Structure 1
Amino acid sequence: MNKFYLVLFLIFLLMGCSENGNPTPRELLGEEDVDIFLMNEVVYAKASDIDWVTESEYTIGEEVAEISKQQNRAIGFNNGTANILPVGTKIYETGQGFVIAIVGEKEVPYIALLEG
């Protein structure tokens, strides 16, 4: 769990480094254990270790994105790109402050990394 807090601290530290205040793939891709994707110019990070997310009751809503590319480089990391999620993974809205990626039969939560 300490590794999680270190990664979370680094993400928040890096959040202050981008022009619009939100972290960018370039800032995050070098971090160990980072699992991200880009949707609507916003980076989403895997949130299965965040208590309020895992304890939330939610309903899977409409599909909001699909992963179209997988890569670990910042250059060309565009909307629909993920570094871990496989191509074809569908992303769904929950209305609870996070989205759900369906990986096989597993529901994996992701949160938007937003400044402020």
Structure 2
Amino acid sequence: MIYKILSLVLTAGILVGCNHNGSPAPSDYLKSEGADIFMLDGYVYSNVQRLEWVKETEYSLGEQIGEITKQTTNSFGFDDGDANILPVGTKIYETDSPITIAVVDGKEIAYMKQVEG
């Protein structure tokens, strides 16, 4: 009986598909073709550089807040420091705006933290 309950709880947890913070999980994005995400501090960040308002936003680069440590397209085990497109070693910086910046070969790429609600 305990195994059935444990199995049910684990299955429900997998089906919910959210991080511990209630925000979208990597699996919510990785099933979409063209997804470009990374994870930092339990949050998924998604590439937003094509959005017009992002192109028009002025910002100042702040402190480094992370670095990509693994590249993977597998949502199982996708964790802090993982990215599906950004190369290992990419530095992640905060800004004085809602935008977070990844720097690849001197090029700044805009991302935003994805949160529910």
TM-score normalised by L of structure 1: 0.81
Is the 2:36–2:85 Cα contact (8 Å) retained in structure 1?
Answer: yes
- Cα deviation, 1:66-86, whole Å, max 9, x if unaligned, reads 000000001121100000000
Q: Tell me, which stretches of 5 or more residues in structure 2 are unaligned? A: 1-15
Q: Tell me, which stretches of 5 or more residues in structure 1 are unaligned? A: 1-15
**Deviation of 1:21 (Å):** 3.7
**Deviation of 1:22 (Å):** 1.4
**Deviation of 1:17 (Å):** 5.9
Whichever residue aligns with residue 38 of structure 1, its letter is: M
TM-score normalised by L of structure 2: 0.81
Is the 2:17–2:27 Cα contact (8 Å) retained in structure 1?
Answer: no
Tell me the matched-pair count. Answer: 101
**Deviation of 1:114 (Å):** 0.7
Q: Which has the higher strand share?
A: 2
1:65-104 aligned within 5 A: 65-104=66-105
- Cα deviation, 1:83-108, whole Å, max 9, x if unaligned, reads 00000000001120010000101100
- What is the RMSD computed on CA atoms of the aligned residues? 1.5
The percentage of aligned residue pairs carrying the same residue is: 46
Does 2:47 match 1:46? yes
SS of 1:62's partner is strand
Q: Distance in 1 between matches of 2:35 and 2:88?
A: 17
Tell me which stretches of 4 or more aligned residues in structure 1 moved more than 6 Å: none
1:1-116 aligned within 5 A: 18=18, 20-116=21-117
Q: Distance in 1 between matches of 2:89 and 2:29?
A: 22
> Which moved further from structure 2: 62-71 or 17-26?
17-26
- Cα deviation, 1:25-61, whole Å, max 9, x if unaligned, reads 1221111110000000000000111122111111111
Q: Distance in 1 between matches of 2:65 and 2:35?
A: 22
Aligned equivalent of 1:3: none
